[in-house]
Structure 1
Amino acid sequence: MRVSVWVAVVCPGTSRVLLAKRGPTTRNAGRWNFFGGGIDDGEHPEQTALRELGEEAGIHSCRDDLIYLGECASASKRNLLFVVTAEAEFEPIINHESQDWCWIAISDLLSVRRLHGPTQKLSPLVRRWVATLPPAPPEPELPPFSRWEWLKRQVGRHWPV
């Protein structure tokens, strides 16, 4: 049985996941998916996850960044899923295997047209995992300030106190 490793890059602060659109000369061209691929001979699944992230998205992580979420299997293939979190959304450096990328709300993941099969089957694992995370802290509110404070801010540091 063939084994593939997939990595979902999740930004918990925005509840969005990074997807790549397969390039026109690749298998499953035009399909949106997580980053990943097959395990090379002698490679551990975690090594595959890190290698694929680096090759396909320009993301250089370490083993401690990987969170194993589970797997799904078909008659001929076993798909393992890891997640890596990002503090903020960013622009990945995609390679020739992808023609586009996007950040998408995790709640909208299964509504994506042309979602790659393993990504579709593994998406519920990502949704369940995100649901276990504590909510993001609210943005701090700035305290109201007086006209006097406003004027001092406008003038800057040169204001005699």
Structure 2
Amino acid sequence: MRVSVWVAVVCPGTNRVLLAKRGPTTRNAGRWNFFGGGIDDGEHPEDTALRELAEEAGISAARDDLIYLGHCQTGTKRNLLFVVTTQSEFAPAINHESQDWCWMALSDLLALRRLHGPTQKLSPLLRQWLETLPKTQPAASQSRWEWLLSQVSRCWG
């Protein structure tokens, strides 16, 4: 059975997750997903998570930053889910595999119809984990809210 590793980048302060939109020349083009991919021969799942984050989003993380949430099966593939948290939202340096990115509230993510299969099946694990976090409201200026609204329109557009 093939194994793929997925990483949800979460900003607990805003309760939003970073998504990438698959590029037009990639498998599952136009679908939104977490960052990830297949495990290389002899590679440990945590190393795959860190490699995929660096390759696909320009995010440098350490093994200690990874939180394993669980797995699901899609077809003949086992999908592992890790989380990396960040103190604030940022613009990732996406590679050629993605054509766009956005930060999205989990409630909106679960309603999104253009989700990649593993992301859709792994999202309930992320929701359960987020529900265990303390609830905080981020301080935001009006320009910050305008920025957040523009990000939502990017995801839904």
TM class, shorter-length: 0.7 to 0.9
Q: How high is the TM-score relative to the length of structure 2?
A: 0.86
CA drift at 1:109: 1.1
In structure 2, the partner of 1:17 is 17
Q: CA RMSD in A?
A: 1.1
Largest Rg, 1 or 2: 1
Structure 1 residue 105, shift from structure 2 partner: 0.3
How many positions carry a matched residue from both structures? 139
Q: Which moved more, 1:34-43 or 1:72-81?
A: 72-81
CA offsets, 1:55-75, max 9 Å, x none?
000000000000000000134
Where structure 2 has 5 or more consecutive residues not aligned to the other structure, the ranges are: 140-157
Aligned partner of 2:117 in structure 1 is 117
Whole-angstrom distance in 2 between the partners of 1:29 and 1:108: 20
Q: Could you say if the C-alpha distance between residues 2 and 23 of structure 1 is closer, same or farther in structure 2, counting changes exceeding 3 Å?
A: same
CA deviation map 1:99-153 (0-9, x unaligned): 00000001111111210000000000001000000122675xxxxxxxxxxxxxx
Against the structure 1 CA distance between its residues 75 and 112, is the aligned structure 2 distance closer, same or farther, given a 3 Å change threshold? closer
Q: 2:144 — aligned with what?
A: none
| % same residue | 80
**Higher helix proportion, which one?**
2
Runs of 4+ displaced beyond 6 Å: none
Normalized against structure 1, the TM-score is what? Answer: 0.84
SS of match in other structure, 2:53: helix
Mapping for residues 4-153 of structure 1, pairs under 5 Å: 4-136=4-136, 139=139
